Amino acid sequence: MSKITFTTSSETLARANRGPVVKRALAFATLLILAASGSALASDYNLTVTNASTFNSTVAANAIFTGNVLGVFGYVPPPTGGAVIPPGTPATRTLTGFFGGTSTTNQVIPLSGNAVSNGNAAGTPVGTYAVSINTSTGAVTLRNLTSNMLGAAQPTIPVTLNLLYSTFRTRTPDYTYFSFGVPIPLPLGNATLTQFDLFQTAPVSGAATLSAGTWSYTLPVPVQVNYSVTIQGSENPATQTDTVTVNGTITPSVNGQTATSTLTFSQSSSQPVTPTPATPPPTPVYFQLPAPSTATPPPPPAHTLLTLLITGGSVTINGSSSLPGSGPRVIVARLADVASDSLDATRNPNGSIGPEDLDAFIAGFISNNAAIADVASDSLDTTFNPNGAVGPEDLDAFIANFIAG
């Protein structure tokens, strides 16, 4: 490419209406004209995640606790809240040790241990994201990714309760629970993954490659993940920031007015379990304590109230996601998208950056027309940010954004 040099005498500049500003405009105008031949017409698409989306994860939760178990005998629930005892439930009593007690004795049995939950959780994500693709340069930007990764699902994972206790007895039914000094594993229903939301915290740009009409790219995307696991009635919410490697594609339609897309990525989240506040005291839950027997079929359970105070633990979720999307092309008014026609004298973006923007801006800049050439308040602005006057900051910002496409 040949080199073009502008030389302007100080006397000529002194006669110019705008002095150094016009000099800069003229000098950069050639640069922009040269750039315009390779300037991109960037297309912006708003994509909605389709029902072909997938989210698959493994969940590992461990909650350390102290607490107690008490027979339901004589239990009177408070006016609000409290354990729900099914009608007709036998009035189990609990008693410490091997001996003692009366026909009405019902004693609290201290417990400690941990609850462990390991399993798989899946969902059908819903959400949206936006992709900009410059079909001339291959520049791509991913922004505004927001997804509820579970969709309508609330997956459950079995929980095993590992209990440590001193020997105790029950009445109705009559059992003795011997202490062997090691945790006794008992099934404790399910933990529930109630939330797993992910959203992008900043736009990311990079390069895409074209093959058979589809642009492919890989970007490091900063995200925030909000998730929560419920263990034995205790919500354990957590928030984590991360950077995930997103592999994406965007396939514009023949006329460019719509597009289909894909995003795939893996993400790992690990957070401590939220301890149960000591005040107010945790609410007991109705718990069918399995009989201390391996007989088949198992004998009926003891009917108890279980109270657990979680003191620590962790939740780890490792997931992989696929978010296919589809949606329309939209007009995004970039800073350098000022016109739909070269003769426009007021700002009139058309969703793409091209020669008409260059022509209209330069004409407006030289004539001091703020209606079209006032695009920035700072030379580093990347979005439309007028300050009410036409000045060098508008020229600098327009040049940078025009070349970027």
Residues 306 and 347 in one domain: no
Residues 216 and 296 in one domain: yes
305 lies in some domain: yes
- Which of 297, 330, 363 is the last residue before a domain boundary? 330
pLDDT tens digits, 285-318 = 899 999 988 888 989 999 999 998 888 888 899 9
Share above pLDDT 70 across residues of the chain, in percent, rounded to a whole number: 88
Residues 140 and 264 in one domain: yes
Radius of gyration over every alpha carbon of the chain, rounded to an integer in angstroms: 33
64 lies in some domain: yes
Based on the structure, what is the number of domains in the chain? 2
Is omega for the bond preceding 173 within 30 degrees of 0, making it cis? yes
Residues 205 and 227 in one domain: yes
Share above pLDDT 90 across residues of the chain, in percent, rounded to a whole number: 60
5 lies in some domain: no
What local confidence, expressed as pLDDT, does residue 7 receive? 38
Residues 51 and 33 in one domain: no
pLDDT at 40 > cutoff 80: no
Going by pLDDT thresholds of 50, 70 and 90, the confidence category of residue 3 is: very low
103 lies in some domain: yes
- Which of 294, 315, 330 is the last residue before a domain boundary? 330
- Any bridge partners for residue 289, and if so which? 302
For residue 277, what are its two tokens?
A: 């506040």
Residues 324 and 339 in one domain: no
42 lies in some domain: no
CA dihedral 123, 126, 127, 131 (to 10 degrees): 80
4 lies in some domain: no
Range of the domain at 346: 10-37+333-404
Residues 324 and 340 in one domain: no
Going by pLDDT thresholds of 50, 70 and 90, the confidence category of residue 181 is: confident
Residues 165 and 250 in one domain: yes
pLDDT tens digits, 46-98 = 999 999 999 999 999 888 989 999 999 999 888 887 888 999 999 999 999 99
Residues 145 and 192 in one domain: yes
Residues 25 and 112 in one domain: no
Residues 137 and 234 in one domain: yes
CA distance 391 to 18: 10
pLDDT at 203 > cutoff 50: yes
- Which of 282, 310, 330 is the last residue before a domain boundary? 330
What local confidence, expressed as pLDDT, does residue 37 receive? 47
- Taking a C-beta distance cutoff of 8 angstroms, is the pair 45, 330 a contact? yes
Residues 168 and 19 in one domain: no
SS3 labels along the chain: CCCCCCCCCHHHHHHCCCCHHHHHHHHHHHHHHHHHCCCCCEEEEEEEECCCCEEEEEEEEEEEEEEEEEECCCCCCCCCCCCCCCCCCCCCEEEECCCCCCCCCCCCEEEEEEEEEEEEEEECCEEEEEEEEECCCCEEEEEEEEEECCCCCCCEEEEEEEEECCCEEEECCCEEECCCCCCEEEEEEEEEEEEEEEEECCCEEEECEEECCEEEEEEEEEEEEEEEEEECCEEEEEEEEEEEEEEEEEEECCCCCEEEEEEEEEEEEEEECCCCCCCCCCCCEEEEECCCCCCCCCCCCEEEEEEEEEEEEEEEEEEEEECCEEEEEECCCCCCCCCCCCCCCCCCCCCCCCHHHHHHHHHHHHCCCHHHHCCCCCCCCCCCCCCCCCCHHHHHHHHHHHHHC
pLDDT tens digits, 106-154 = 999 999 999 898 999 999 999 999 999 988 889 999 999 999 999 999 9
Distance of alpha carbon 238 from the chain centroid: 12
3 lies in some domain: no
1 lies in some domain: no
Burial 202-232 (b: 16+ CB within 10 A, else e): ebbeeebeeeeebbebebebebebebbbbbb
pLDDT tens digits, 266-284 = 988 888 877 777 667 788 8
pTM here is: 0.69
